[in-house]
Amino acid sequence: MTRKLISYLLLVPTFLIIGLFIYYPAVLTFQKSVYRVSPFGNRNIFVGLGNFKTLFTSQSYIQEMWTTLLFVAVTITVGLTISLLFSLLLNEKVPGIGIFRTIVFSPYAISPAIAGMLWSFLLNPVVGYVSYVLLNLFGIQSHWMTTYPAALIAVMVATVWQNLGFNIIFFLSGLQGIPKSYYEAATIDGAGAIKKFFKITLPLLSPITFYLAIMNITFTMFTVFGVIDIMTQGGPGNKTTTLIYRLYRDGFIYFRTGMASAESVILIVIMAIVTFVYFRFVQRKVHYR
């Protein structure tokens, strides 16, 4: 009995932190989503589902939904593909490979705001190194932050770059966990490098890919607003405004707490649906050794 009591007491700090910083704000968000602050900010007016109706009848909000969907789909597909290719190269046993692995992982150690700042400098049309190289080698000159779709592409590139190290670490771990005997047996059977990749490497990496897809969706949905705020501020013409950046502006710039709370609820529901569908249907195709 004493040991059980001690176990529960040790869990109390964890439950307090979770309750205070996760469950309480979530309940408060749902509560505030059915209210609207009065024009003078002195009282909350109950509007029921009025905030949600306003959002779903707003052309700008629908556009931001499509922008978010495009942003998430492209960054995850491109990011995971590039990460896997880099992982295959970094898995080779060559001198100094540890240094290259450290260099590739380093972008993940910086914050989204710093990543946005770095890419703002690199893509600057006057002094940016990337703009200089593109202009001299391919004749491409673009005002990356102020034209569309260049601005959206720039934010996507910065997001993929920052998340690259995180993905590579997990892919490398998965590659190093695949027994060499599988490849040796495939070689004896006459399988080439491409067949080995699609028949051995890719299926056995599916648990890692499944996990990374969920983590990348979470990252691009919630933490990317720092990159957007530094690079484009949602412009030009709200073309790079995602749902999380819209929420940030409504909540912390315009102080429309009711509307921002409704947007938070929508994001929670979207993530819940995505996670359910992914675990319910996609996980069936995941192969565990």
279 pLDDT higher than 80: no
56 pLDDT higher than 60: yes
Q: Are 130 and 154 in contact (CB under 8 A)?
A: no
Amino acid of residue 38: S
119-178, pLDDT tens digit by residue? Answer: 999 988 888 888 888 888 887 777 888 889 899 999 999 999 999 989 999 999 889 888
CA–CA distance, 188 with 183 (Å, rounded to integer): 9
Predicted local confidence at residue 134, as pLDDT? 83
Can you read off the two tokens belonging to residue 191? Answer: 């399988």
pLDDT band at 219 (very low <50, low <70, confident <90, very high): confident
- Tell me, what DSSP letter sits at residue 36? E
pLDDT band at 287 (very low <50, low <70, confident <90, very high): low
Predicted local confidence at residue 284, as pLDDT? 62
289 pLDDT higher than 60: no
Per the prediction, the chain carries an average pLDDT of 86
Mean pLDDT of 74-78: 94
What lies within 8 Å, CB to CB, of 209 at 6+ separation is 80, 84
Please give the torsion angle defined by the CA atoms of residues 72, 76, 82 and 84, in that order, rounded to the nearest 10 degrees.
170
Predicted local confidence at residue 145, as pLDDT? 87
Torsional sign, CA 185, 191, 197, 198: negative
59-285 belongs to which homologous superfamily? MetI-like (1.10.3720.10)
Compare 193 and 74 and report the one with higher pLDDT: 74
192-217, pLDDT tens digit by residue? Answer: 888 888 888 888 888 888 889 888 98
Integer CA distances (angstroms), 256 to 108, 165, 184, 249, 262, in order: 33, 37, 62, 9, 10
What pTM does this model have? 0.87
CA–CA distance, 240 with 228 (Å, rounded to integer): 7
